[in-house]
A and B are shown apart, each in its own frame.
Chain A
Amino acid sequence: MKIFKTAFFAMLAFASVLTTNLAHAADVAAAAVVPTVAVVPAEVPVNWHAVVMFLIFVAVTLVITYWAATRTKTATDFYAAGRGITGLQNGMAIAGDYMSAASFLGIAALVYMNGFYGLIFSVGWLVGWPIILFLIAERLRNLGKFTYGDVVSFRLSQGPVRTMAAIGSLIVVIWYLIGQAVGAGQLLHTLVPQMSYQLSIVIVGALIITYVTFGGMKATTWVQIIKAGLLLGGATLMAIGVMAHENFSFAKLFSDAVAAHPKHLDIMKSVVPIGAKANPIESISLGLTLMLGTAGLPHILMRFFTVTDSKAARKSVLYGTCFIGFFYVLTFIIGFGAIVLVANNPEYVADISKSVLNLKGGGSMPAVYLSHAIGGNLFLGFIAAVAFATILAVVSGLTLAGASALSHDIYARVIMKGKATEKQEVWVSKMSVIGLGILAIFLGIAFEKQNVAYIVALTFSVAACTNFPILVLSIFWRGLTTRGAVVGGYTGIFGSIGLLLIGPTVWTKVLNMGPAIFPYDFPTFVVLPTVLIVAYIVSVTDSSESGKKERAAYDAQMVRAETGLGAEVGASH
């Protein structure tokens, strides 16, 4: 513990050196004090509101991390916050874990560019939640310990099934991390131009390593709760600001938006991105991916192990769904508000003679500039700090989920075959956090100039085609055997990645290989049924002794899933 405390203060010192350097760099304007700080033209003023609010948030979260570190002693504390999180707290944390910068800035930006089309994402990303509640949440809590791999390998062979589950988790986690890191770098660099893209990513990486290694799930949970509060509060204020400007009339908001947008009424008529050709199969596949991918995200599934019992797990989904649903309605108002207040405004638009829509600083900026249009620099600073908090909270959850797949599934169960001590396992987990944090920093920097548009499709496709179907089959279908789960799982992983590689975004746009071999961006409509069929056929043709035992073990698994008898005990209050 002592060594961790010392290291913790060393990290704190590192962070403060970084920030003072930054402030100093800003004071002397163009002079770059730290080599990584980019030289900027003198006329760009420092956004002090944003910087001060970043620092307040960072200070508060570091205090929480210190508090959590003194209370994190066992593996259950580290992975699952001691199972002492209440339903309401977990509902907030779920919202904080799930509402990423992609859904805040991304949906607002989609609506800003395409109008109605953005709503499909809001709806699709919400409807996964009722399914998680009805079918997964309580049974997951009753069967598992720390990872979703615990649940799928409950009655199946530990080694192969956990390896497959961990690979599925890690692919989702690492790609999601890249997307978040690139977003963080671009956003922070745009908001505080004195801070370079690289330095922004290093700061994010250093902070999440600090939170997660020292504070584990407790610190992660509270960072997510605070962030959810800030994000919901900020988005509500922004939506109220928009509606106040529009005399609290939706009719006026939408007709003003139609008048302001260069495509006018098309923003209400297009069900695909404006300018794209209608494609029914793509729309269906997108719909499937958004809904079922949510139910297969490892960092989301992990949250259900932090609550006291299955009843709290159930309540937490209700709270989480309501927060997320409310938030998605707000992002829709924010997107339309940005069409009215941000487009056509020379202060925000990059080159008004070319396009009245394209903004300075890139595609994810509409919500950020809207905050400026509504509440000036102070509100912009607040929303910028909220966006920063959002990235930190999501990245912390992802890193912890990735580390637990490596330490709990791969190290403790596959390599050590259950013989590792709790101490060793937590140590490996902390090392994995540091490793994943550093990997995220490097990949974030490496992908700076890459087209990362396919990342959402990739992570959600793997989650929807691998993690989700195997989880549901293992819980509900007696007939699933190790062979079926493993062959089905790898079909999902390789199938979705393979088809994405030869799909329009990667094959044509990223790799420049000409027309795509597989003409759809979202492969779920092909891969998901294939996975189900493969898992079914391989399982029913499995006549091995172990297969018979696995089917026979289903009854006991089901009793535990349905009644919670024998489930991991939560902390009492």
Chain B
Amino acid sequence: MSELITAKILKNPKYLQLVKQRDTFAWTLSAIVCVMYFGFILMIAFTPDVLTQPIAADSVIPLGMLIGVGVIVFSCLLTGIYVYRANQTFDPIVNEIVREASK
């Protein structure tokens, strides 16, 4: 029974499209996080001077501190974007695919 449903789903073009669309989205977001974070890490590794320069002439706050906090805040935002899109776009498609296959 469940094998039958699985076989049906595998032939459903909506399923193939969903997987492609969602995987592209998930891997793109992962890539953004990695670029952002490893950008920060590579700056620490190779250009620490850029990272530790003060944000203003009369300030002791280094640029890297803003970047670091920025990476944290942006990571939280990206998780929000993913959850929003998954709830709005992907869940209804998944439900439809499962419903069609269970018929």
Contacts and interface: CB of A to CB of B under 8 A. Distances in A.
Contact of B75 (A126, A268, A283, A564): A126
Contacts of B91: 311
Nearest to B41: A287
Contact of B29 (A130, A268, A318, A332): A130
A129 interface: yes
Interface string A166-193: 0000000000000000000000000000
Contacts of B5: 565
A222 interface: no
B33 A127 contact: yes
A287 B37 CA distance: 8
B72 A329 contact: yes
B62 A559 contact: no
Interface string A328-359: 11001000000000000000000000000000
A287 B35 CA distance: 12
Interface stretch (A24-32, A131-139, A296-304): A131-139
Contact of B64 (A116, A317, A325, A332): A116
B82 A133 contact: yes
Interface residues of B, number: 54
Interface string A82-111: 000000000000000000000000000000
**Range of interface residues on A (Cβ < 8 Å):** 35 or more
B98 A563 contact: yes
Nearest to B101: A565
A19 to B, nearest CB: 40
Interface majority SS (helix, strand, loop, mixed), chain B: helix
Contacts of B42: 284
A123 B40 contact: yes
B33 A131 contact: yes
Contact of A311 (B19, B54, B87): B87
A423 interface: no
Interface in B53-100: 54, 59-62, 64-65, 68-69, 71-73, 75-76, 78-80, 82-83, 86-87, 91, 94, 97-98
A271 interface: yes
A74 to B, nearest CB: 23
Contact of B2 (A123, A129, A254, A565): A565
A130 B65 contact: no
B19 A558 contact: yes
Interface of B: 2-3, 5-6, 9-10, 15, 18-19, 22, 26-27, 29-30, 33-34, 36-38, 40-42, 44-46, 48, 51-52, 54, 59-62, 64-65, 68-69, 71-73, 75-76, 78-80, 82-83, 86-87, 91, 94, 97-98, 101
